[in-house]
Amino acid sequence: MNQLATLRERFYLLAQGKADQAANETAKKAQELLAEITAGKIFQALVIILISYAALFVADRLINWLSERVPIQLRLSVKQSLPFWRGLIFAIAGGFILNLFLNLSPSNVLAVTGTVAVALGFAFKDLVSSIIAGILALFERPYQVGDRIEIKDYYGEVIGYGLRGVQIQTPDDNIVTIPHNTIWTEPISSANKGNLEAQIVTNFYFEHAVDIDRVNQILYRVAQTSKYTQLKLPIVVITEERPWGTHFKLKAYPMDARDEFVYKTDLTQRAKQMFARYDIGYPKLPGTISEDGQISLE
């Protein structure tokens, strides 16, 4: 028994010695990695941060200003370059700051990258997940600046693309920021997918005895004569029978997706004027009808 205890003690001392040696080597490497931190370097880092934020501000304003002055076909292409410039500014600023406080060499860069990645992964799991999703989204492009998208219960135009999330402007003029990591679990619907045009569906409802040919003719004419319509793309009228009446869907494209609601209003107003002129009757509903044509009895 005494020999066994002695053997265990020796193994313990050996393991303890190796642990102390590893800790000392880690501390030594950390000391070698860190450069001397002075007030001057801290001041330089603050200046770099201020310059980078100023550059981000200028880039945002310049890209938005330029996008409104180039030919309309190039507007979205110019706006969609904004995430690239923002990422480039962040990368350059981060490189300068790391170079101030760390003795960067090829081996040290790998060590710093691994250490920072592990630390951030544990401390800021959701933030890192959003940043990684944002980087992947730059290549997969589920949404871009200028797209009209729907994520969860939010629909609107993408007006900003940051490291952590995407900003959309809703029809009510609210700005909603949605984390990029939403793309891992939520479906994303894009109305125009990087194009200027986006299909707009305008709904109309009539009684069963309505003259279908007359209604189709009016809807086609209303869409063809609208100043917002992109005539190079198809105009389609879909008809569906419902228990309470006939449902017409007018599908057409405005020349600019930003005119979505103005366009839909223009189509609705001019179509109703024509329906009134021809005395086309609307269905008498026993309840209320939702936007998708579903009726709920009162």
CATH number for the domain that contains residue 87 = 1.10.287
Give me the phi and psi of 184, to 5 degrees please: -65, -35
Provide the pLDDT for residue 19.
46
Other C-beta atoms closer than 10 Å to the C-beta of 154 total 14
Q: Are strands 236-242 and 188-190 parallel, antiparallel or unpaired?
A: unpaired
For helices 125-140 and 106-123, give the axis angle rounded to 10 degrees. Answer: 110
Q: How far apart are CA 190 and CA 31, in angstroms?
A: 51
Do 123 and 229 share a domain, yes or no? no
Do 129 and 152 share a domain, yes or no? no
Do 95 and 154 share a domain, yes or no? no
Do 112 and 131 share a domain, yes or no? yes
> Across the 298 residues of the chain, what is the mean pLDDT of every consecutive 10-residue run?
49 48 50 62 83 85 79 71 78 78 60 58 68 80 84 86 84 88 85 82 91 93 93 92 90 90 94 90 69 57
Do 105 and 61 share a domain, yes or no? yes
Other C-beta atoms closer than 10 Å to the C-beta of 99 total 11
Provide the pLDDT for residue 243.
84
8 A C-beta contact, residue 93 and residue 48: yes
8 A C-beta contact, residue 281 and residue 207: yes
Residue 121 is assigned to a structural domain of this protein: yes
What total of structural domains would you count in the chain? 3
Residue 75 is assigned to a structural domain of this protein: yes
From 123, 157, 190, give the residue that closes a domain.
190
Do 131 and 101 share a domain, yes or no? yes
Instruction: Give the amino acid at 73.
Output: Q
Q: What is the CATH number of the domain that holds 222?
A: 3.30.70.100
Provide the pLDDT for residue 254.
92
Do 216 and 176 share a domain, yes or no? no
Q: Which domain holds residue 269?
A: 200-297
Instruction: Give the amino acid at 21.
Output: Q
Residue 31 is assigned to a structural domain of this protein: yes
Q: What is the CATH number of the domain that holds 168?
A: 2.30.30
Do 13 and 126 share a domain, yes or no? yes
Q: How far apart are CA 70 and CA 50, in angstroms?
A: 30
Residue 259 is assigned to a structural domain of this protein: yes
Provide the pLDDT for residue 22.
45
From 118, 140, 162, give the residue that closes a domain.
140
Residue 258 is assigned to a structural domain of this protein: yes
Residue 219 is assigned to a structural domain of this protein: yes
Q: Count the residues in the chain.
A: 298
Q: How far apart are CA 263 and CA 158, in angstroms?
A: 19
Do 161 and 266 share a domain, yes or no? no
Provide the pLDDT for residue 284.
74
CA distances from residue 167 to 63, 179, 191 in whole angstroms, order as listed: 16, 9, 16
Residue 289 is assigned to a structural domain of this protein: yes
Do 217 and 160 share a domain, yes or no? no
pTM value surpassing 0.75: no
List all residues 6 or more positions away from 251 whose beta carbon is below 8 Å from its beta carbon: 199, 200, 201, 234, 235, 236, 237, 238
Alpha helices in 141-247 (DSSP H): 212-224
Provide the pLDDT for residue 114.
59
Do 164 and 285 share a domain, yes or no? no
Do 55 and 119 share a domain, yes or no? yes
Residue 195 is assigned to a structural domain of this protein: no
8 A C-beta contact, residue 205 and residue 245: yes
Nearest to 251 by CA among 279, 229, 275: 229
Can you list the positions of beta strands (E) in 228-283? 236-242, 245-252
